[in-house]
């Protein structure tokens, strides 16, 4: 049985950077990636703001050396780029030298291709291949093919906004149980009209920059991104003399089954998830140095999560902030995006500022971290709270 779940590589592409270094620089400089929509033709173009990645699909295809006739969705393109970065960062030259799996998370899948070709499907057979790439597993399969993963576990998780956090949790458990030696975990989601319309219908999109944990928050900004982490067992780390970036120390998943899209008012699911993660990590609440909160800037989420944090930490709430004011809410990818940010916080002993905050919420006396803070960190707790009440927490640590 493996004792530690080591993180040995990371890759990311988001609205604030095309790799790990660029993302970190934006975080410490307080540089947001939230803008008006530029790449999607939507009637809501002037009414909302999003976190878009700068590259067009054609530019992403060129980066990967794909032929013009490929059927890669934007979700798949982003996922391949981030996963390849993670493999390179981990120094992996032979992906199949150990029992290696891939667990990728997505909500949107190939929706961008589907909505572009749906009406031509019956008349133009050349468009049918794009519809075949609609399902969530298609992007995972393409990432696995690009990485060269053979004869191992390749699977997809889609549990709304907790998806990528759950991919990290499942990957850690597979290594702990000895079923795999190495797992590439993370998620990818692109922006699409379908997503924009759906969230617009829920009336939780902001027409300006999102303001996590602010009394006057107006809603979330959608974002697109992909991030992957390489998890490896003690056996691989020792055999390959690997540099360990951090460890997955604890994890927990719970479902309060309160509502299709809303979290329970008292944060029951988030509370359970954090309790479970602390138990797996064998840590007490006082051992957590920083909370990377889910913090979507919706009325429901920030109140629910805030109450859950108080239930766990009482009067000793550690420094906390949401990084969604930088990237927007990247849906299924969010847990992986924020896992990378959590590891970077540990490596550099910094706590990121909660951008755009002005007014304390009236329901409780909690104020997020407002300026970049340097502090010796040993553990970071990251929350990812999904629709349908699916709540997940992952704890990252410098030591196993």
Domains and CATH numbers, the chain: 5-240 (3.40.47.10), 251-397 (3.40.47.10)
The encoded tokens of residue 108 equal 């949107």
pLDDT confidence of residue 388: 80
- Label residue 365 exposed, middle or buried (CB < 10 Å: 0-12, 13-18, 19+): exposed
CA–CA distance, 6 with 399 (Å, rounded to integer): 9
DSSP 148: T
CA–CA distance, 216 with 131 (Å, rounded to integer): 41
* CB contact set of 388 (below 8 Å; sequence gap of 6+): 159, 160, 255, 257, 260, 261
pLDDT confidence of residue 298: 95
CA–CA distance, 79 with 86 (Å, rounded to integer): 11
CA distances to 86, 184, 268 from 151, rounded to whole Å, are 20, 15, 40
Q: Which of 396, 351, 392, 382 is nearest to 162 (CA)?
A: 392
> Which residues in 110-135 are b (16+ Cβ under 10 Å) and which e?
bbbbbbebeeeeeeeeebeebbebbb
Instruction: Looking at the chain, list the stretches that DSSP marks H as alpha helix, in order from N- to C-terminal side.
Output: 20-29, 57-64, 74-89, 111-117, 128-132, 136-147, 163-176, 193-201, 234-240, 268-281, 299-313, 324-327, 334-348
Judge whether 84 and 147 are in contact, CB under 8 Å. Answer: yes
pTM metric for this prediction: 0.97
The encoded tokens of residue 163 equal 């998806």
Low-confidence ranges of the chain (pLDDT < 50): 1-2
């Amino acid at each position: 049985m493996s004792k530690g779940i080591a993180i040995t590589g990371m890759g990311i592409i988001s609205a604030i950077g095309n790799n790990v270094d660029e993302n970190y620089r934006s975080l410490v400089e307080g540089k947001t990636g939230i803008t008006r929509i530029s790449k999607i033709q939507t009637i809501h173009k002037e009414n909302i703001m999003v976190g878009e990645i700068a590259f067009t699909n054609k530019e992403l295809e060129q980066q990967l050396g794909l032929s013009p006739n490929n059927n890669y969705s934007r979700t798949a393109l982003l996922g391949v780029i981030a996963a390849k970065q993670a493999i390179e960062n981990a120094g992996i030259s032979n992906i199949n030298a150990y029992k290696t799996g891939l667990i990728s998370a997505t909500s949107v899948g190939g929706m961008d291709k589907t909505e572009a070709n749906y009406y031509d499907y019956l008349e133009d057979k050349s468009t049918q291949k794009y519809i075949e790439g609609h399902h969530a597993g298609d992007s995972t399969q393409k990432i696995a093919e690009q990485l060269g993963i053979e004869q191992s576990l390749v699977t997809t998780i889609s549990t709304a906004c907790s998806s990528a956090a759950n991919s990290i949790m499942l990957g850690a458990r597979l290594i702990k149980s000895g079923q795999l030696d190495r797992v590439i975990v993370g998620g990818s989601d692109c922006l699409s009209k379908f997503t924009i319309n759906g969230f617009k219908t829920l009336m939780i999109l902001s027409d300006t920059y999102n303001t996590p944990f602010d009394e006057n928050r107006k809603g979330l900004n959608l974002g697109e991104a992909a991030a992957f982490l390489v998890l490896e067992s003690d056996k691989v780390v020792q055999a390959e003399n690997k540099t360990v970036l951090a460890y997955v120390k604890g994890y927990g998943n719970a479902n309060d089954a309160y509502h299709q899209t809303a979290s329970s008012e008292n944060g029951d699911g988030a509370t359970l998830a954090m309790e479970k993660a602390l138990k797996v990590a064998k840590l007490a609440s006082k051992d957590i140095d920083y909370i990377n909160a889910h913090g979507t800037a919706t009325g429901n989420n920030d109140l629910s999560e805030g109450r859950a944090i108080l239930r766990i930490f009482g009067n000793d709430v550690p420094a906390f902030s949401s990084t969604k004011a930088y990237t927007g809410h990247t849906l299924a990818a969010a847990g992986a995006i924020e896992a990378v940010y959590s590891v970077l916080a540990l490596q550099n002993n910094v706590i990121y500022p909660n951008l755009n905050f002005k007014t304390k919420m009236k329901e409780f006396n909690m104020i997020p971290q407002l300026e970049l803070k340097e502090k010796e960190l040993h553990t970071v707790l990251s929350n990812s709270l999904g629709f349908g009440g699916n709540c997940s927490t992952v704890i990252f640590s410098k030591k196993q």
